[in-house]
Amino acid sequence: MALHRVNTDDYQQQLDQKVARLREAYTPYTDLQPEVFPSPPSHYRLRAEFKMWQDGARVDYAMYKQGEYKKPFVIEEFTVGSERINALMPPLLDAINGSEILRKRLFCTEFLTTLSGDALITLIYHKPLGEEWEAEARTLQERLGVPILGRSRKQKLVLERDYVIEKLDINGRTYQYKQVEGSFTQPNGEICRSMIGWAKSCCEDKTRDLLELYCGNGNFTIPLAENFRKVLATEISKVSVNAAQENIAANGVDNLAILRLSSEEFTQAIDKVRPFRRLKDFDLDSYDFSTVLVDPPRAGLDADTCAMIARFPRILYISCNPETQLENLAELTKTHRIKRFAIFDQFPYTDHTESGVLLVKK
């Protein structure tokens, strides 16, 4: 099935198949029935990247099957994309095709949108972007009412801003996030809300502290901060750390600190293997952690990080790759048992699924 055009009547069937497959895969570690969080069947994806297929004097949105980069699918509808993306695609394409300056050597277009209606468009070129391009792009930006960003090799031209502002309503409270172009954001907004709500319901300890690794822009960190005495979060991306700091201030959180460290570096720091200048004025010993939250990349947790988090009474592990989560569970379930198990259909109509487990010390 082409992902840009889906039959929503098939949604429940494909979700049931995923759940059955994952339930079987997790059987060695838990007999719990998973809590299942379905996605909207359509218009769920908040970001999209299209190759631009140049054919003579015309350009079209296109996608390619893996390994078949000379056989594009021209995109005329994008069922999985947010309604905001779908509304922007036709007028943007018309404007690009009406301007040789905007069209020439354009090879990629990216959309970043939010549930709250904000949007950003990035146009990526195989050419330097000069004054003529900027003038055309500013006219386009005014016409669409959406910020335009231009990129080419070693060049980033920001006409207004390079981020969107998301506002998520969760359990009666609204959280605000700055999401920067080019940095990681959750692609499925409704599933993101479900994951945050589930995480908040899993753990609360007002007398002790939370550690979060791989915190990104504070997506989970900020809502969870109200469940704990203090929160310490780590993230290696400088862009994400800066966005997280702004998000902390925007949400009025005062019990949360973020360190720019990788999970491996934090393990070395907490074990006092070596000193870090970034921790010169920071007292790790002032924290009393009862819970650790990890949401690692697809590769999962490295062995040292896995061993480090196994010391905690509670582990909340959210994963975009159940296969590597299962590999880590082979170790973590030696010391912990799974108390809750969730499946989040982050990527409908694909084989990919997000999973979450709450582990408690045996």
- 354 among known catalytic residues: yes
In a domain, 180, yes or no: no
Question: CA 156 to CA 341: how far, in whole Å?
Answer: 42
Nearest to 353 by CA among 19, 82, 8, 30: 19
Return the pLDDT at 276: 86
Q: What token pair was written down for 26?
A: 């997790």
Q: In residues, how long is the chain? A: 362
Residue 170 domain flag? no
Assign 186 to helix, strand or coil: coil
Q: Within a domain: residue 250?
A: yes
Residues 6+ apart with CB under 8 A from 38: 11, 12, 15, 345
Looking at the fold, whether 204 and 249 belong to one and the same domain comes out as: yes
Please tell me which residue in 136, 166, 235, 354 is annotated as part of the active site. Answer: 354
Q: At residue 232, what are phi and psi to the nearest 5 degrees? A: -120, 125
3-state secondary structure of 344: strand
pLDDT of residue 127: 96
Do 198 and 344 share a structural domain? yes
pLDDT at 278: 84
**Residue among 191, 194, 202, 200 at smallest CA distance from 315:** 202
pLDDT at 66: 67
Instruction: Specify if 308 maps to a domain.
Output: yes
**205/249 same-domain check:** yes
Task: Look up residue 203 and give its two tokens.
Answer: 């753990």
Domain residues for the domain of 84 are 47-164
Q: What is the DSSP letter of 39?
A: P
Same-domain status, 144 and 32: no
Please indicate whether residue 306 is annotated as part of the active site: no
The reported pTM is: 0.92
Within a domain: 175: no
Task: Give helix 11-25 / helix 322-332 axis angle, nearest 10°.
Answer: 30
Q: Which residues pair with 350 in a beta bridge?
A: none
Dihedral over alpha carbons 28, 31, 33, 35 (to 10 degrees): -70
User: Which of 265, 320, 327, 331 does the annotation list as catalytic?
Assistant: 320
Residue 87 lies in a domain: yes
pLDDT (tens place) for every residue of the chain, 362 residues total? 345 567 788 899 999 999 999 999 999 999 999 999 999 999 999 999 999 999 888 999 998 776 666 677 889 889 999 999 999 999 999 999 999 999 999 999 999 999 999 999 999 999 999 999 999 999 999 999 999 999 999 999 999 999 999 999 999 999 999 999 998 889 999 999 999 999 999 999 999 999 999 999 999 999 999 999 999 999 999 999 999 999 999 999 999 999 999 888 998 888 888 888 888 888 898 999 999 999 999 999 999 999 999 999 999 999 999 999 999 999 999 999 999 999 999 999 998 999 999 999 99
Helix 131-144 to helix 83-97 angle (10° resolution) is 140
Q: Is residue 102 part of a domain?
A: yes
77: domain CATH number is 2.40.50.1070
Question: For 99-160, what is the HEC assignment?
Answer: CHHHHCCEEEEEEEECCCCCEEEEEEECCCCCHHHHHHHHHHHHHHCCCEEEEECCEEEECC
Q: Are residues 26 and 68 in the same domain?
A: no
Return all residues near 23 (Cβ < 8 A) that are at least 6 apart.
Answer: 33, 34
Structurally, the chain folds into a number of domains equal to 2
Instruction: Give residue 98's pLDDT.
Output: 96
